A and B are shown apart, each in its own frame.
Chain A
Amino acid sequence: MFSKERFVQYLFFVCALMTVVILGGIFIMLLYKTLKFFELVGLGEFFLERIWKPSAYSKPTYGVLAMLVSTLMVTVGAMVIAIPVGIGAAAYLSEVASPHVREWLKPLVELLAGVPSVAIGFLGIVLVGPFLAKVFHLSSGINALNGSILLAIMALPTIISVSEDAFSSVPLSYREASCALGATKWQTIVWVTLPAALPGILVAVMLGIGRAVGETMTVLMATGNAKAMPHSFFDSVATMTAVIASEIGEVDYGSEHYYGLFAVGCLLFLISLLVNLLADYFNSKMRRYA
């Protein structure tokens, strides 16, 4: 007999199973369209050709290198800013701030996480761009550096909240032992709490990287969208996400160009999967305190 209890249980199980179906669906869809692309355009061209020029009149080229480098560059720039600032702010929140300050700061950081990416991109155009142009005497501040600054701001809430959790999960006895040996607060943070929280902090860094790599609107709006191999942070760049977002509206269904954009998306998906798996790995190292 198929009882009501059983039915409800299966219903919820199906809900949970849907997540696997969706993830699998996304991957299979991307893979299918990517394979179609490689039937039309060689694997070699995709990875060895530098420039993405699908609308070139004589011979279109579909090289992913320039945008891959752009994505990595903007992400590295963002992490150079966001990792130290984020970990520092998390250490402050967990180890230094009074409970009162913490109670105010944490919701504020959450509010930052809630600001839509398109609004951050807008501020990149009207605020950060002109500021960079002035400071570095450039004709335009719409470049990779601008994108890095904005992505750093967007990755900060993730890095802060996950690292703060990591700091707070270190048992109090570690700190007490350190203090009992005569270490100061700062020494305790640097030599005891930070190393103990390190796996969790690496999770935070990975999630921050994932956020930066996959972010679309801010880089689309604030980095200038020039499809060339970047040479410096003052160059205008087009990341993988920005290329997909700016071109998919104009392609013909089923064309080389159409499948090409899914191939870029597939590569992006694989990068984010790798970053997530690394986060998972560090997370499994963190559990010993729980």
Chain B
Amino acid sequence: MRLFTGQRAWVVQRLSALLLLVLILLAMLALPFASPLDFSAWRALAGGALGGPLIALLFGALCAHAWVGMRDIVLDYLQPRGLRLAVLGLITVVLLGVLARVLLSLAMVALAA
């Protein structure tokens, strides 16, 4: 298998962009109706059956989108193979960290509820 894909990465980038657009639009539509959040309301939202999965989806799409974009930047500007793999590894670790942290936070709230 090739390490870097052509069309597949491009499709992931476009699909995640579309998903993010939909989520941003949803947020923009919902926000005017939202009351100022206090801690318990925020936890209820993030731990809810709708809010939790939506936040997870948002970060999932963000991370997938960011990976393709950062990969493209690395492929353009960093030519030495070793440096390239090191930076790509770092980017992957950061994004997996983000994903893990968000999922853990959401799970923590959902379990407490």
Partners in one complex: no
